[in-house]
């Protein structure tokens, strides 16, 4: 007789299965930043759409459970998921899509760290993404429970880091990069978003951190009115500038 553990924390079978759930996903890219409000959700959503348009198989997972945004960006009104030996993500605009709003709807969802971890493990262990070239994960800001759990449980994650020209943004990004380096997690590179002035301070800052600088996206006042309308969004300068960066994400040596 093997008692797995005397406490009520015995073996959690969900964790074991996560690798298997993602075995046919070629790349998992977590869009992260040390700072909030820098454009992670917009970049994750638009990057997913851009890759899907290039005929890649793409999934988008909104991992910001307390403040999900990607459904608003993509104009997803009602998320209906199907279950079939697991949870089948919804198809939206050519993407496989999963967000906590499939379960919490429009309601506020106040979660503490342990709940965030549990919900994350639950969704990673039950969502059947199937074959994907890219799974983009929209991360909550900062060095959060979600970030630590993605590092812990989704071993093949690569990080795409978003910063702004502000020194305050980069200050936090630097800490995040240091952590990722220490934990040997791959970093695709850094994007500078919401540029308003000439020059790109992030380019030099990133060079000294020994990480790829992927490019700059200007502050685009057209974005706000286009939110929720993917056709309008794809016409924005934001989308065009992001599209210029995409080849460097597809093949990091380009």
Ligand X SMILES: Nc1ncnc2c1ncn2[C@@H]1O[C@H](COP(=O)(O)OP(=O)(O)OP(=O)(O)O)[C@@H](O)[C@H]1O
Cα(238)–Cα(221) distance, rounded to whole angstroms? 9
Q: Which of 55, 77, 80, 85 binds another protein (CB under 8 A)?
A: 85
96 and 86 Cβ atoms separated by less than 8 Å: no
Question: Residue 120 or 249: which CB sits closer to another protein?
Answer: 120
Q: Which of 11, 184, 210, 253 binds another protein (CB under 8 A)?
A: 11
Under the criterion CB under 6 A, does residue 41 sit at the interface with ligand X? yes
Rg (CA), the chain: 18
Q: Which of 22, 25, 42, 214 binds ligand X (CB under 6 A)?
A: 42
Closest separation in Å from C-beta 42 to ligand X: 4
Q: Which of 69, 104, 126, 212 binds ligand X (CB under 6 A)?
A: 69
State the number of binding residues for another protein (CB under 8 A): 41
Cα(141)–Cα(82) distance, rounded to whole angstroms? 29
Q: Which of 219, 232, 243, 246 binds ligand X (CB under 6 A)?
A: 219
Cα(127)–Cα(119) distance, rounded to whole angstroms? 12
Extended strands (E) in 85-235: 87-88, 90-92, 95-99, 132-138, 157-163, 187-195, 213-218
Residue 105 touches which of ligand X, another protein, Mg ion, none (Cβ within 5-8 Å per kind) = another protein
Under the criterion CB under 6 A, does residue 93 sit at the interface with ligand X? no
State the number of binding residues for Mg ion (CB under 5 A): 3
Stretch 66-85: interaction string toward Mg ion, x if CB under 5 A = ---x----------------
Restricting to residues 1-40, which ones interact with ligand X according to CB under 6 A?
33, 36-40
Helix (H) or strand (E) holding 118: helix 113-126
Closest separation in Å from C-beta 52 to ligand X: 18
Distances (CA, A) of 132 to 31, 122, 129, 185: 17, 20, 7, 21
Cα angle, residue 246 at apex, residues 30 and 94 outer, rounded to 5°: 75
- Residues lying near Mg ion in the complex (CB under 5 A) are found at 40-41, 69
């Amino acid at each position: 007789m093997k008692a797995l553990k005397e406490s009520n924390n015995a073996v959690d079978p969900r964790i074991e299965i996560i690798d298997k759930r993602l075995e046919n996903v070629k790349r998992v890219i977590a869009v992260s930043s040390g700072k909030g409000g820098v454009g992670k959700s917009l970049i994750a959503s638009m990057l997913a759409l851009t890759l899907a348009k290039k005929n890649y198989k793409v999934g988008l997972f909104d991992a910001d459970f307390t403040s999900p945004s990607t459904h608003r960006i993509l104009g997803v009104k009602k998320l209906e998921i199907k279950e079939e030996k697991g949870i089948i993500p919804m198809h939206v605009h050519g993407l496989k899509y999963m967000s906590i709003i499939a379960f919490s709807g429009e309601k506020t969802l106040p979660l503490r760290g342990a709940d965030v971890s549990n919900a994350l493990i639950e969704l990673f262990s039950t969502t059947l993404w199937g074959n994907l070239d890219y799974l983009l994960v929209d991360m909550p800001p900062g060095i959060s429970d979600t970030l630590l759990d993605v590092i812990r449980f989704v071993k093949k994650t690569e990080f795409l880091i978003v910063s702004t020209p502000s020194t305050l943004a980069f200050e936090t990004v630097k800490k995040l990069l240091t952590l990722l380096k220490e934990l040997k997690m791959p970093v695709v590179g850094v994007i500078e978003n919401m540029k308003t002035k000439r020059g790109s301070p992030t380019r030099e800052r990133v060079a000294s951190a020994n990480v790829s600088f992927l490019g700059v996206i200007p502050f685009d006042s057209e974005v706000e009115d286009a939110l929720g309308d993917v056709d309008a969004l794809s016409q924005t300068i934001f989308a065009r500038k992001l599209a210029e960066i995409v080849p460097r994400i597809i093949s990091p040596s380009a």
